[in-house]
Amino acid sequence: MSLLRLRAVLRGPGGLRGPGIPWRIFRSYSSASTKEKANRNVPCERTELLEVLKARAKQLQGSDVPQVTVNKVELDALDNDKYQEAVDPGPKQKQPRTQGDGLAPSSTWAKKLQREMYIQQLKMKQELPSAASQLTLESQAKLDVEGEAKAKAKTTKSPNIPKMKTTTAWNQNSGSPHNKPRVVEVKESAELKRPQKMPKDKSNQQILQQTIQCNLECFLFLQQPEEAERYLLLCQSSPVKRKVLDIGAYNIVMRSWARKGSLNRIERLFSILESTNLRPDLDSYAVALECMGRNQSPPKAILRYLQELNNNGFHVDELFQKCLFEEDEKEMVLSAIRTVQPNYQLPPPPSPKICKSSLLQDFYSRETMVSYPKLDFSVKELQERFQQQLEMELKNTITIESVEAAKPLTPQAVKAVKLGSGGSPQDLWRELLGTLRSQWHGAILQALRNSKRSMARPKRVSKYSVLFPYLCLLPDEEYVDIMLQILNDLSPQGESLAVLARELGSKVYDRYIIQRKLRSCQLEKVQKIYENYIELMAKDSQPKQYLPREYWEKLVAEAGFGPSLNLKSCSWPCVLLMRLGMHLLELMVKAIKVPRNILNHRLESKPIPVLYHVYSFYSNWQVGLIKPHPIYSQMVSNAAETTLTFNSSAMPMLCPPVPWTSPSFGAFVLNDTKLMRFMDDSTHHQLLLDQCPLVNLHPVLDALNQLGNCAWKINQPVLDIIISIFNDKGDEKLDIPPPLSEAPKPPTAPGNSSTSSKSFKQELFLCKKKTAEMHSLRMDALYKLSIANYVRDKVFWFPHNMDFRGRTYPCPPYFNHLGNDVTRAILLFAEGRPLGPKGLDWLKIHLINLTGLKKKNALQERLEYANEIMEDILDSADHPLTGRKWWMDTDEPWQALACCMEIAKASRSPDPAAYISHFPVHQDGSCNGLQHYAALGRDLSGAASVNLMPSGLPQDVYSAVAQQVEEFRKKDAERGLKIAQVLQGFISRKVVKQTVMTVVYGVTRYGGRLQIEKRLKEIDEFPEEYLWEASHYLVKQVFNSIKEMFSATRDIQNWLTESAKLIAQSGRTVEWVTPLGLPIMQPYYRARSTVLNCGMQRLSVKNSNNSQKPDTVKQKNAFPPNFIHSLDSTHMMLTALHCLRKGLTFVSVHDCYWTHALTVDVMNQVCRQQFVALHSEKILQDLSEFMLQKYCSSSTEPVAHWQKRLMEQLSNVPRTGEFNLKQVMDSTYFFS
């Protein structure tokens, strides 16, 4: 069985998009958009890099072919600069001709191309070089030759984005260690013809500014201060770049000189600052003092800078309170200060600030503080686990055993290898594959070094010169490892070129950040602090009344010196990641080859590429794919390798996570993790969090730490049963995906009739679609089960972060408790607790909840039913695969089986109350979104429908809506409405459930109609010709029913929607702050595309950030559901924190709360208390006041018309009903 990875694992089936290509990629990237789209996006600059002209011309000549399959990918050598070869390859480089392929030297476009290149060469010869010049050019001028059927030449504009080049030689392994850096500047012809223009929109300026800082940070990391300063000065001389230069760019260059102790260079930069509108900030003075401390400058010079610091309104203590330091920078600054003030002492750490939220006054009160709960590990054991985690993160990847059993090889695969003595055919294939990978490693390494040598060569312009410093950040072998990992993970169906490029660039960035942490000595400090931190949780240490965040901050303050734990870093823009990834991808396509006759020895032994660049079409978008050659896919399948390789960040942690103490520090030891998950390339959430007072984020940080500190272990008996079925062709009914050997066979080709041909294509498409879906699901299950098997004997942890609404998620993406029924069934709490007097009853009730059989019955009736079927429960536990198999016919079969086994063990123990249980028991909210709406509006009828009011039986809102819709239908039928008569007997709970459930999350009538239509299609008896009319009628009645039953809910939803609409129309994004103090901003903007002219194809990358105009429709429609999601996350966090105070183990899956059977009652009480406390706050009034202050507080006169409308809208807060919130405390079925 092939162990190739399909990216669609995390995204669900590929569907119509093709295997592994998520819908967002099609929205974000394209390989060949229409000419009109290209012409809108490109400015007119007329320089082109010589190597790319060949590949680009060949590609564009074939652009009018409706479906392109490149049978052989030939990439031009990066160091080949003979312009004639771009036009006439000569006999040695002759390419096989296909329709629309090949070069015609006599054609118009070819002549024009030759003339352009000749003029470019003349200009290159006339211009003088200077250092790091190509990095300074803000946009690469391009010549896009648009090939058409008539071979007509056109020059197109390249996108106005910051593309840059470098031709500077850095110290690198491939060059001579004695060679001094040599630099060349090649000015753009466009610069000679006309002055530069400013980027028209802020997004381009933002990308440009970000790119400049990234380039400077590269020079700093590479210890090239000369290049950094030269680049900065060239940026300053550019009218475009000068506008986006900020003090941060100068500080980076000064830091690089400070490390060399070059004070005169720093003084020069200070003098340059005087000629600009920029003023030195605290970091500027910190760098100058560091330099003076490092070279032991005289007191007079130090005093001058300290005096200037004071004159600019700063205090010397602020240097140590607000600046971030790396390595020994802090010590050097202190040394300089003590040169003139020998008795100066570091300012004492600020006293810890206490969160003032009214919801958490008791929680943060020292009077109610209790000792933090201990783990069943000693200090020494936790230190050993930390070392294991650190080793795994330092290696970047981890290889584990696959749980998939090897399948027998086909006769053809056995014949293809020569069997020797000892060793199976699979072993021989693995040996062969290992040999090839070793060869590929060498080939890629050589190609990478050749590429770098070409970029660094004097008097040489390269398409990818801009990338040169980024190719020097890591050892060459690490780049090769990253590329081979991508190859190993590639699906046989291929992957979007844009996805692969982004992933390659991101992997380089992640490893670079780890190298920076190692270089800055941050790791040593984290190790030292963590050794003391685990005393908070170790069983053999003294109890401590601190939260994890508080204790970590205390230890950091006590550590005093050393580097800061937050890096001064600028994330790489998407454009840069894509360019870097594309370059590495081109090296892979060029270097990785396999003998053509490896599967068939009768063929000629000729090396052919393993990877191919092909196009697929989605609507009017032409999407580039990278596909492996079938020979390679067959080899991997024959080898049936028994290992899987993952990034270390994809694995559960082997030690308690590093606590979140700020938006940029927490979770893994080394792997870079953000507190808030961002959409695409946006950074505004990070800026919003950075600007928020840290004390306001304490509740959110503490809640995430509490969720992450829950220790887990594997339910081994259940895991073994699942693996056995997984390797026995799976079982779709039990959610165990079958292998591809069970996929439908492709249909046989029909005759020549057009009808049968069309039918054949449709069948073939569906067959391929089904196969891709099966592969995706199979690989998803394989990853989860293999990771679970790897940690089967270990205790592990899931660090958490959140999305922009505050909803929490485990960081490891594959295996976690947010997974499906299979994943949840194999997870147990590592900590065991006795069942207590009611624990066994809760296990039985939980089991019946999992079956879905008694949803409308009281808890006591569910318990009685469990006792009645005890024989089936015990049979399921004892003979899961050979007995009556009662557990298989439940809603959640695997969790039901795990619960059966736990009940069997507990009931058979001598004293069930004393039985130590590790089993999580769940309590689910009853249509939680509507619960929040009903509480916000104090809606009596709505509250009763969603179990906010005490009741002897659980209320089912879906049945209530179905009943209301049926009453409407009867009235309409009596009036003679045809569709109402047709629907008689077809309105049920199932038909309306999905629409009712999603109405609270903003589903429109259009979306609701599609949901209902889908449900009606599932009813065989329903007449198909009435589907549209019936669904249109029903969605209208469902909305009317909800409006009647939840009148306050609809009023609030309409108020939120209209408010968001007016805010977005004013050009602002919708922002609010949760009751716990978390700032939230909706990240929906009108994205603008930037076209990247890369070597293999053109990519259209969408820039969606806060410099763009907001997307009014998305802002309006998303605000109500996002606001409710922020409230349910607030309720969950409050429950988590107060459960901690009660000593409970607590985790959540959004509105599903988990704890031990012993503590279910306590958790239920806390859950209700916190819901009442949350909704006792003036939530809507506070939201109104916040938005009035933010959007309507402008002092300009007169007030604009839109502002008046917005003020009226925001001030008109919906009225509330008469529901008494305290009734929730006595509602059994609020969470049950």
Task: Tell me if residue 1088 falls in helix, strand or coil.
Answer: strand
DSSP H helices, 128-224, are: 133-136, 189-193, 202-221
Task: Tell me if residue 943 falls in helix, strand or coil.
Answer: helix
Q: What is the C-alpha separation between 619 and 596, in angstroms, rounded?
A: 35
Q: What is the C-alpha separation between 563 and 555, in angstroms, rounded?
A: 14
Can you say whether the dihedral through the CA atoms of 680, 682, 683, 689 is positive or negative? negative
Q: What is the C-alpha separation between 140 and 160, in angstroms, rounded?
A: 9
Q: What is the C-alpha separation between 874 and 907, in angstroms, rounded?
A: 10
DSSP H helices, 754-858, are: 754-790, 821-825, 836-851
Name the residues annotated as catalytic. Answer: 924, 993, 1151
Q: Peptide bond preceding 1198: is omega within 30 degrees of 0, i.e. cis?
A: yes
Q: What is the C-alpha separation between 4 and 778, in angstroms, rounded?
A: 11
Task: Tell me if residue 844 falls in helix, strand or coil.
Answer: helix
- In contact, 270 and 262? CB cutoff 8 Å: no
**What CA dihedral angle connects 442, 473, 519 and 678, to 10 degrees?**
-110
Place of tokens 């906010």: 948
For 474-508, the three-class secondary structure string (H helix, E strand, C coil) is CCHHHHHHHHHHHHHHCCCCCEEHHHHHHHHHHHH
Task: Tell me if residue 665 falls in helix, strand or coil.
Answer: strand
Q: How many C-beta atoms surround the C-beta of residue 1037 within 10 A?
A: 22
Beta-bridge mates of residue 1152: 924, 1149
1049 closest CA partner among 943, 1181, 1155: 943
Output the six-digit token pair for 174: 């491939």
843 closest CA partner among 910, 895, 911, 883: 895
Output the six-digit token pair for 1204: 């008046």
**What CA dihedral angle connects 77, 78, 81 and 83, to 10 degrees?**
60
- In contact, 736 and 722? CB cutoff 8 Å: yes
E strands, 966-1016, where? none
Q: What is the C-alpha separation between 709 and 78, in angstroms, rounded?
A: 51
Task: Tell me if residue 648 falls in helix, strand or coil.
Answer: helix
The residue length of the chain stands at: 1232
Region of residue 729 (left: phi > 0; alpha: psi -120 to 50; beta: else): left
Can you say whether the dihedral through the CA atoms of 682, 687, 692, 697 is positive or negative? positive
Output the six-digit token pair for 860: 């006591």
Q: What is the C-alpha separation between 774 and 153, in angstroms, rounded?
A: 46
Q: What is the C-alpha separation between 819 and 825, in angstroms, rounded?
A: 10
Place of tokens 């469902």: 1038
Output the six-digit token pair for 992: 């309306």
Q: What is the C-alpha separation between 762 and 591, in angstroms, rounded?
A: 37
Q: What is the C-alpha separation between 509 and 471, in angstroms, rounded?
A: 11
Region of residue 753 (left: phi > 0; alpha: psi -120 to 50; beta: else): beta
How distant, in Å, are the alpha carbons of 938, 943, 1063, 1083 from that of 956?
Answer: 19, 12, 36, 35
Task: Tell me if residue 237 falls in helix, strand or coil.
Answer: helix
